């Protein structure tokens, strides 16, 4: 009986066909034309705001690149990732939504999936590094002081190598990129987990190393920071004025970093939940109309960060240190917020 059950499970795995291998055209939109037009306009607005906002952050930072602090360097890298998503990825999906189908074929689908995963992974790992930087600077003042610019550049090299590795692994035959169920966008092939044990192992590896582990580090860092803040006022009061001012600046940077991470996770967690359900839940149990909403929400993540910088009143790299006098001279004729 056990052998028959095993044979039945194996055959069910072999019989499973993901949506993109079924008889229907995988690149034809499964949404109404009106819904595609609305989504196209939505992504156009998101793309323009994201490109302008992150482009401004990078431009202003380039004007004082030799004075950037480690935290600022990481913030600029985050803006580069967000700009990459907007410039490299969004035009593909915008054109496809307005065309009522994916018009770039399998090659374009794989490129789009790779670019989205590459820059998205780069953003999350950058925020993980920022959270660790904040943790050291706030919770371990004596250790945080030795973090210099060259450490930030080493960290950037690790981040880009990490993102490149995980985004390129599917091309080695371990995984793949495939069209979304609604047809006008492409993503990591989550449906491989329904087809084989190897597919499940690949998806679980991606989930752990590119989502769960970085998120756990971020949550740990900011929980420790919140606990530390309660006693930080008394501790810093024993230092001189220069260190106190530096600590206030670090706290402002920490608030920005916390908001950035919160915005990113809020945008991406619904998409992650739907993706995991598609991978390990009942096959094709996620309604197509429902699957498009988390996808569009995730694509808006690149727009939030420049807005957060302005809300906290910290321009370009969230920090006015070193450039404060220059900004004060420029704002003498026109008051800043």
What pLDDT digit, counting tens, does each position of 173-216 carry? Answer: 888 999 999 999 999 999 888 888 888 999 999 999 999 999 99
Structure-token pair, residue 71 = 């935290």
Indicate the range of 34-43, 77-86, 114-123, 134-143 predicted with least confidence: 134-143
| 283 SS3 class | coil
Q: Which helix (H) or strand (E) holds 276?
A: helix 241-280
CA distance linking residue 310 with residue 318, whole number of Å: 9
* pLDDT band at residue 2 using 50, 70 and 90 as cut-offs: very low
Q: Which residues pair with 250 in a beta bridge?
A: none
Mind listing the domains of the chain with CATH numbers? 33-232+239-316 (1.20.1070.10)
pLDDT exceeds 70 at position 304: yes
Give just the sign of the alpha carbon dihedral 71, 150, 246, 324.
negative
Q: What per-residue confidence (pLDDT) applies to 239?
A: 55
- List phi, psi (to 5°) of 18: -65, 165
Q: Which residue has the higher pLDDT, 97 or 245?
A: 97
Q: What is the mean pLDDT of residues 218-231?
A: 82
Alpha helices by DSSP H, 140-240: 141-144, 149-168, 197-207, 213-236
Q: What is the mean pLDDT of residues 254-270?
A: 85
* pLDDT band at residue 17 using 50, 70 and 90 as cut-offs: confident
pLDDT exceeds 60 at position 317: no
Rg of the chain, C-alpha, whole Å: 23
Question: Over the stretch 133-146, which tens digit does the pLDDT of each residue have?
Answer: 888 887 887 766 66
pLDDT exceeds 80 at position 81: yes
pLDDT exceeds 70 at position 85: yes
């Amino acid at each position: 009986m056990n052998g028959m059950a095993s044979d039945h499970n194996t055959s069910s795995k072999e019989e499973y066909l993901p949506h993109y291998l079924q008889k229907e055209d995988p690149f034809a939109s499964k949404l109404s034309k009106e819904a595609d037009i609305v989504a196209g306009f939505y992504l156009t607005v998101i793309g323009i705001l994201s490109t302008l906002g992150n482009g401004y952050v990078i431009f202003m930072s380039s004007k004082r690149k030799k004075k950037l602090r480690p935290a600022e360097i990481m913030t600029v890298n985050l803006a580069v990732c967000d700009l990459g998503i907007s410039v490299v990825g969004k035009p593909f999906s915008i054109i496809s939504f307005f065309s009522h189908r994916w018009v770039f074929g399998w090659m374009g689908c794989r490129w789009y999936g790779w670019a989205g995963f590459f820059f998205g992974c780069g953003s999350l790992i950058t925020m993980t590094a920022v959270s660790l930087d904040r943790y050291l600077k706030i919770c371990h003042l004596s250790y945080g002081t030795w973090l210099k610019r060259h450490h930030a550049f080493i960290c950037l090299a690790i981040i880009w190598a990490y993102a490149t590795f995980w985004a390129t692994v599917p091309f080695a035959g371990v995984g793949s990129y495939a069209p979304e169920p609604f047809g006008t966008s492409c993503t990591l092939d989550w449906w491989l987990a329904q087809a084989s044990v190897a597919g499940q192992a690949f998806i679980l590896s991606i989930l752990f190393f590119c989502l769960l582990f970085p998120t756990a580090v971020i949550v740990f860092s900011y929980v420790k920071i919140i606990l530390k803040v309660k006693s930080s006022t008394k501790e810093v009061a024993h230092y001189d004025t220069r260190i106190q001012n530096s600590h206030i600046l670090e706290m402002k940077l920490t608030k920005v970093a916390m908001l950035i991470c919160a915005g990113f996770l809020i945008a991406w967690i619904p998409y992650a939940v739907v993706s995991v359900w598609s991978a390990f839940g009942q096959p094709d149990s996620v309604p197509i109309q429902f699957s498009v909403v988390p996808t569009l929400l995730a694509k808006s993540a690149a727009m939030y960060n420049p807005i957060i910088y302005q809300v906290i009143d910290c321009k370009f790299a969230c920090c006015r240190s070193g450039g404060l006098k220059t900004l004060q001279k420029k704002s003498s004729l026109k008051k800043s917020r």
